[in-house]
Amino acid sequence: MNQVHSAPASGSPSRRALAVILAIVGVLAIIAGILYVAGAANSLHFMVGSVHKGHHLVRAAVSFAVGVALLAGAWFAARRG
């Protein structure tokens, strides 16, 4: 007997939606990190609640790290689906 096992062509719709949402938020976090590095972070006051001063490099590093983590989560969710 020759049996062929194949994975389903499309994953669970909830997993796919989760992967898309994680990817979008991850890309937005990386864009926010780029804006912090570029010095345009004062235009992000709508996201952080108020105009802030200083700590741009720390905020940029955190934004990049969160963005990469979210993109990794999206890849994992899409792969497991």
Query: Tens of pLDDT along 13-60?
Result: 888 999 999 999 999 999 988 888 887 655 655 555 555 566 778 888
The whole-number pLDDT of residue 42 equals: 59
Weakest mean pLDDT among 3-7, 67-71, 75-79: 3-7
- Mean pLDDT, rounded, for 75-81: 84
Cα–Cα distance for residue pair 64/8, rounded to 1 Å: 33
Q: Is the pLDDT of residue 9 over 60?
A: no
The whole-number pLDDT of residue 17 equals: 92
Q: Global pTM?
A: 0.69
Cα–Cα distance for residue pair 73/81, rounded to 1 Å: 12
Least Cα distance to 60 among 76, 38, 43 occurs for: 38
Contact present, 8 and 42 (Cβ < 8 Å):
no
Least Cα distance to 40 among 60, 18, 22 occurs for: 60
